[in-house]
Amino acid sequence: METENRRVLKIVERCGPSCLQKGRIPKILLQGRWLDALGFREGMNVEVISSPGRLIVRPYIDIELEKEHRTRLDLTKLPCDSNNIIIQFRDHNLRWQLESVGTAKEGQFYRITNLPRKVTGISMGDLVEVEEEYGRLFFCRVVEYGSHGTIQVAIVYWTAAANDLIRAAQMRNCAVRWTANRHISLCVSRPINDDAKYLLHLLDKGELEGCWRYRTFRPGELL
């Protein structure tokens, strides 16, 4: 089960012209780098689900917009595997991107079986709901988060530090996937309940030295 981080925030009074007309208005302010680490980044849309005494904030997924974009996909360029699912998402420049990930069918849902290389918000081991269209499976939503989180690393230049990072990840029983297209990237899947202080220390050190950029998340953006 995923570890939850608890934060205590204070509800303050919103000030402005509307306060004079409508009376006191409560306000909650969320800010900090921890939001980026969870995948909530500038320019994203979020939805707030409310019930008595409870608020849930999560990335907003415009399903209709995603479905409309499916009609313009060139599916011939993607692997044709009965258990691969297609995930569409938007990058920080709001450009559409997609990724095909491997899964294993479990009842009416599918379990992610490999490391997502680009998309955030899902990890190996997550149980997801899919929808079939055009003879392919498309991601709809996460049904149950697994026991792993994902670290994505964009290598600026390969050094001995990258080899040390891979060895440290493998020693902690983390799955590692790397690709070398226009740039080299690493994806590391680590158990959420694992104490990864040394691994994160190596990541921070390499980023400070300009060897790579990285991000770790759970969950993250999907649009």
Q: Average pLDDT for consecutive 10-residue bins of the chain (223 residues)?
A: 66 67 78 75 74 79 70 72 81 73 93 83 86 87 81 84 87 78 68 73 90 69 32
Rg (alpha carbons) of the chain, rounded to whole number: 20
Q: How far is CA 45 from CA 88, 94, 113, 156, in A?
A: 16, 11, 28, 30
Mapped onto helix, strand or coil, the DSSP state of residue 38 is coil
Which regions of 18-108 does DSSP assign to beta strands (E)?
A: 25-27, 46-51, 54-59, 84-90, 96-106
Pinpoint the residues of the chain covered by CATH 3.30.70.600.
148-216
- The residues with which 102 forms a beta bridge, in sequence order, are 84
Q: Which CATH class is domain 148-216?
A: alpha beta
Mapped onto helix, strand or coil, the DSSP state of residue 81 is coil
Burial grade of 16 (CB within 10 A; 0-12, 13-18, 19 or more): exposed
Distance CA 89, CA 120 (A): 9
Q: What is the pLDDT of residue 18?
A: 55
The dihedral over CA atoms of 9, 15, 18, 22, expressed in degrees to the nearest 10, equals 60
- The residues with which 138 forms a beta bridge, in sequence order, are 86, 131
Relative orientation angle of helices 197-208 and 160-171, to the nearest 10 degrees? 170
Q: Who contacts 173 (Cβ-Cβ below 8 Å, separation ≥6)? A: 191, 194
Q: What is the pLDDT of residue 3?
A: 46
Q: What is the pLDDT of residue 118?
A: 78
Q: What is the pLDDT of residue 218?
A: 52
Q: What is the pLDDT of residue 70?
A: 75
Token pair for 68: 């409309």
